[in-house]
A and B are shown apart, each in its own frame.
Chain A
């Protein structure tokens, strides 16, 4: 039998869309019978997350003509994934999601190449992310979205008129679901709002006041959180609570039950205990399929131009009928993440160490334990230890020298920032300008020509 993967008949359906011209298409659409192959050869896609959305995304992207796909996920397969993460079987429990998902899709779709990464997203160098033409997110965490968003926005460069340089725009397609509801969005950093521009769309989770838990519990959830947040620490000095340890969970459950009986409160169950402690978000196959399909379709449209793209936020709600809404959100022009970068003015004598301290104290930046890179060069890295040792000597050198004695340039600093008493990893782009240094051709302060 001839090689099926190269038989053009296989791609009959998607080729109709990619080979034929149309009037409702993207600006740079160049239909051609070889467009699908070209995309397959050239485009590199990164799928972040190999869970409910990720499994669907890998399938959808592979059946849309993408051939070079990477997938990153630090999680292993659990039994409770099997009601929706269709690439996994019972015997896979405990294995890496990314590795199993990649293998299953490659086995069924010949010609597609999926590289799994079984690690945390922060474990990868920033440059790793720059190799992809598009990043598709299948995540359930705000922090992870925020991190990838800051990485992608970090690649963005602006020209002297503060217009984004098209070749530095790293598109992100992001999806999320909860029960019968979900969202999909397209982020073109510098053109459409980035994740931070609309961070208010994801309000922080409401926590119960400690005094309610300790003194006036009224609901089953109050009793559970008392056992989890207060009683555990009182009884198990110094031993961290592990939500994945069934014995720990059982202990919290029995303590919550005792407290509920004491106060005449009903409704504490083991299932509710798990739900409250782990903040479990209900998830079903159909919603994940819908949202992933929308994301994959947008990825294909962004890369090929074969149709208009979503502009820019889509919500799906299936609880009452089938309700879809598209909202064209606007950018926050002062956004710290996707804007031209926070301006930092320095003396030429400022050392790298002084600069790193300044990042922690700067009112708009608030970045502690920063690692600093400039144009892909590591100036100082907090980890791993080998890199830290190699770059440590730079700390005492003037940043001006380390940056090649230019009047201004863009610097990337990654570290942790504290927001609402919570530490998160983040990446900041900074426009460093040195005082009193004449700027050559690219000066913004002088008008050109005359």
Chain B
């Protein structure tokens, strides 16, 4: 019986397991998420997570279902008018997936933030929707203190935003779309060279000739080239061109796929040794000076740094997998094994270094699993860290050159304009106790007032030059605080995608403030 249920679950989640695997799914199922405010933005974000099998949710909202909620929130229906919104949203979410544990708290998030900060301690992550600046700043401090991830989402007319706030997020499986394979053709190790030498490129049997994998072709020809060029590999543009001709000269005919692949990959012999500047920055981070409180990730980075300086001879551990290439089966399988063996020996060296570091800082030398080290080694070139500023810091002292640049860039004009105007709206609300433009009358006065506030924000930041588009201020008042369903579904969708990346620790989350521009869709990420 248990296996039937397990099979069913596997089938149900099949399309997402292909993205984040069993490990990612387990992480989602162990997560405990809190949603603040369950208007359409929050409801939609949670809906996407519940469908994907998130573990536990707690919905916090102090309001009752009103008639206008039925015009923009699919999770509420007519029968629920007058009932607590959090309760109604919870019951619909349970209908979507009964595996999720759902709770609701009928209280205004602002009050919880003000009066009961310890409420948040149990959560993995908090999704705060439709919150004003003052509450957000307080919530941010609470979450940082308790090491809880925070995702902020807001929909407002045709604009909206999503931002992550946490001290640091470290990623081993960043899974970039495009990343160069780790073949080490520029720096082959003895076993790989030795195997390549057993294959004679001048063989006349056309079947064997066209089934020699390009890795072997390039290693042999690079060595031959180096012998004829004082031990140097092709480096200038002309030399690289000559090297290609050199490869071509070894073809039996122009249709040999393996040689075409060799030509296309010939640049790989000329890659400069060593690690990328991104990785260099990580291994030089002060967090690599580890102590007993350091996270496993940073212990691994410390080991990586030692590895690169010692047995790696400037290179990180080998990834170990090779792409498909034209080859005989036999040759390809042998190559695979050679790469795997090197990756395993690199991994063993890393394991030893990890043990030594753990001993040094006074932790159990076996505290970090082999599987963790192996996964780290496999992804060593792709590890990524994201650090986020305090929201208050961004608001009081944003990165001015960046802000200035965006204000002057036409492609950013709506996005950055909305960024300033969303802050202006909050200030307007703090002064007037209501959002600008919620009533149909007196719109022109509201526009002038909002503009004054927005200009004030810019000049407080010392930006007296740029002005905001009058049309955009008018739009902001026209929106009158409306939470449009498609905009909320978009923003909620983005927020849930970020939550998935944060919880599964896979892929790279958003690094700045995502500003939605529903006018022409030129949304932008502002890193302020």
Contacts and interface: CB of A to CB of B under 8 A. Distances in A.
**Is the A/B pair a real complex?**
yes
Interface of A: 1, 4, 7, 9-14, 16-17, 19-24, 56, 59-60, 63-64, 79-80, 82-84, 86, 89, 107-110, 179-180, 184, 212, 216-219, 263-265, 271, 274-275, 280-290, 292-294, 296-297, 300, 307-308, 310-311, 314, 317-324, 326
Contacts of A307: 158, 518-519
Interface hub of A179, A292, A323 (most chain B Cβ within 10 A): A179
A20 B478 contact: yes
Contacts of A184: 521
A366 to B, nearest CB: 29
A7 B67 contact: yes
20 contacts: A11-B68, A13-B72, A21-B478, A63-B486, A82-B51, A83-B51, A216-B327, A280-B15, A282-B18, A284-B48, A284-B500, A310-B521, A318-B507, A319-B508, A320-B176, A320-B177, A322-B525, A324-B521, A324-B522, A324-B523
Q: Nearest 8 A-B pairs (CB), nearest first? A: A289-B493, A290-B493, A63-B485, A293-B489, A293-B490, A13-B482, A285-B48, A23-B471
B445 to A, nearest CB: 15
Nearest to B337: A264
Given A79-B11, A320-B507, A300 B486 contact: yes
Nearest to B78: A4
Contacts of B8: 79
Given A59-B489, A80-B14, 9 more contacts: A16-B480, A17-B157, A20-B478, A21-B478, A271-B18, A285-B51, A290-B497, A322-B514, A326-B521
Contact of A290 (B51, B81, B326, B490): B490
B329 A218 contact: yes
A293 B486 contact: yes
Contacts, number: 248
Contacts of B437: 16
Interface in B497-528: 497-498, 500-501, 507-511, 514, 518-525
> Which of B11, B333, B519, B521 is most buried by chain A, counting CB atoms within 10 A of its CB?
B521
B182 interface: no
B496 A285 contact: yes
Contacts of B327: 216, 218
B484 interface: yes
Contacts of B496: 285-286, 289
B12 interface: yes
Given A14-B72, A287-B493, A9 B510 contact: no
Given A60-B489, A219-B324, A284-B15, A4 B67 contact: yes
Interface of B: 8, 11-19, 44, 47-49, 51-53, 67-68, 70-74, 77-78, 81, 95-96, 157-158, 162, 174-177, 211, 324-329, 332-333, 437, 440, 443, 470-472, 474-475, 478-480, 482-487, 489-490, 492-494, 496-498, 500-501, 507-511, 514, 518-525
A80 B71 contact: no
Of the candidates A63, A219, A322, the one having the most CB atoms from chain B within 10 angstroms of its own CB is A322
A293 B487 contact: yes
B507 A292 contact: no
B507 A60 contact: no
A374 to B, nearest CB: 40
A351 B48 CA distance: 58
Contacts of B52: 83-84, 284-286
B521 A314 contact: yes
Contact of A86 (B18, B47, B211, B490): B47
B396 to A, nearest CB: 24
A83 B493 contact: no
A17 B484 contact: yes
B5 to A, nearest CB: 12
A59 B96 CA distance: 15
B51 A63 contact: no
The winner among B8, B70, B474, B480 for most chain A CB atoms within 10 A is B70
Contacts of B53: 83
B211 to A, nearest CB: 6
Nearest to A11: B71
B485 A60 contact: yes
Contacts of A284: 15-16, 19, 48, 52, 497, 500
Contacts of A180: 19, 497, 507
Contacts of B518: 297, 307
Given A24-B472, A80-B11, A286-B496, A4 B70 contact: yes
Given A59-B74, A83-B52, A296-B486, A16 B333 contact: no
Contacts of A12: 67-68, 71, 482
